[in-house]
Structure 1
Amino acid sequence: MGNEASKPKSGTNFQVIGAGMPHTGTAALASALRILLEGPIYHGGTQIAKGNPRDILLWTRLLRRFPPRTQTDRRNSFDTLSDLLDGYAGTADQPAALFVPELLELYPDAIVICTVRNPESWERSMRSVSRKSALWSVGLGLILLPLPGLRHFVAYANCLRRCFVYMYEEGESLTTHTYRRHIEWLKEVVPEHRLFFVNVREGWIPLCDALGMDVPDVPFPAIDDEEAMRRVSKETIMRALKIWTLVIATILCAMTAYRWFNR
């Protein structure tokens, strides 16, 4: 996840489909693309946590119909994706990375950039996420209830998990099998001349080569996906708990006043 959600800018030309799995440098890619393309980038994790509250509902609706099988489903997918991504120069992270074939058709001039890392270290990172998610899963829906949009996060996460099971045969603890299957899938559905693999640890050159652009005279964004996710998660939960504190305090005050007037 990046630091802040991007705001769409009318008239922005969509150029890049970020197709990397979570924890492969998607936040760094999004920040780098903002610099190179001079436009807002839709980083899925950040936009869902901090962006328009309606987005999580639209994505959940898309994920429930994944993969789109009928012409009606396909038409609805195109309409919803176009609505979500209008005004952005590109995407990064899930859930947009599940819709690469649709995005290729929707944006025929866009290229696909998949962020990569060592598969074994990726599995360790995802195992850590899975353990922490299990600890929060029981009460998370209740905690997030005061937050518009994010009150639907548990339903969204469950839908995303089901899509992962369909795509990679894994939904809870993701392993190198999921990582490698994702790479294979991209090679199957994306024309070779439109598909690029980038390791963000290598800095600007691989990304700029893919885009056919000069290297900018600024440092490459140094953002750790796991640390960014941890920070955004903490901020979100603290925001929800503050609202709950206010709600509970208001109820207690009302109960105290009621008892005082009726003693």
Structure 2
Amino acid sequence: DWPASYFWRELAAFYPQAKVILTVRDAARWFNSIDNTLFRFMRSPVTPDDEAARRQIVMARDIVQKRTFDDRIDDRDHVIDTFERHTRAVQAALPAERLLTYDVAQGWEPLCAFLGVPVPDQPFPRINAQQELLDSHAGRYNLS
């Protein structure tokens, strides 16, 4: 996730023995999710007395909106294309033994096998916290 995903090349180079987990999902559904959460936060004014929120938005606007999506977060096709190019770039750059391309719908098994750890004796968490995220930030941002 951002901001770390923007710096994946630098992180992979700095930690050459680290395994990398590239989470993937349907691009159209991903766009709908990010458009309703992170992009929504970035479009909103920040409560003037909340310095932490202001700094988060400034960082997000720089790394996500400007650097990642070329100031085109309202261009759905461009955002989806950037998302898909990112996936292909990571897959092309890292060897298979170091990279797991992973959809959370796959559950524990491929993730645990890749990491060399036992499968937990509990169900894989399956939540969509989008509304919870929006609710938790409602006082910090004008999301209307």
What TM-score do the two structures reach when normalised by structure 1? 0.46
Partner of 2:118: helix, strand, or coil? coil
Distance 1:131 1:164, change over 3 A: closer
> What code does the residue aligned with 1:209 have?
A
Matches within 5 A, 1:77-156: 93-129=1-37, 132-133=40-41, 137=44, 140-141=45-46, 143=47, 145-156=48-59
Aligned equivalents of 2:67, 2:74: Cα separation in 1: 11
Question: CA offsets, 1:165-221, max 9 Å, x none?
Answer: 35xx84344443122111111123323321111111221112112212110112222
Distance 1:182 1:157, change over 3 A: same
**Which segment is superposed worse, 223-232 or 213-222?**
223-232
Q: Which runs of 5+ in 1 are unaligned?
A: 1-92, 239-263
Partner of 2:120: helix, strand, or coil? coil
Matches within 5 A, 1:1-263: 93-129=1-37, 132-133=40-41, 137=44, 140-141=45-46, 143=47, 145-160=48-63, 161-166=65-70, 170-174=72-76, 175-234=79-138, 236-237=140-141
**Structural RMSD (CA):** 2.7
Percent pairwise identity = 29
Greater share of residues in helix: 1
Partner of 1:216: helix, strand, or coil? coil
Aligned equivalents of 1:107, 1:130: Cα separation in 2: 28
Paired residues of 2:39 and 2:73 also in contact (CA < 8 A): no
Moved over 6 A (4+): none
Question: CA offsets, 1:205-246, max 9 Å, x none?
Answer: 1211221211011222233142342133226459xxxxxxxx
Aligned equivalents of 1:206, 1:114: Cα separation in 2: 12
Q: CA deviation at 1:133?
A: 4.2
Paired residues of 2:41 and 2:141 also in contact (CA < 8 A): no
Larger RCO, structures 1/2 (Cα 8 Å, 6+ apart): 2
What TM-score do the two structures reach when normalised by structure 2? 0.78
Partner of 1:151: helix, strand, or coil? helix
Which structure has the larger Rg?
A: 1
Aligned equivalents of 1:216, 1:130: Cα separation in 2: 31
Aligned equivalents of 1:206, 1:170: Cα separation in 2: 35
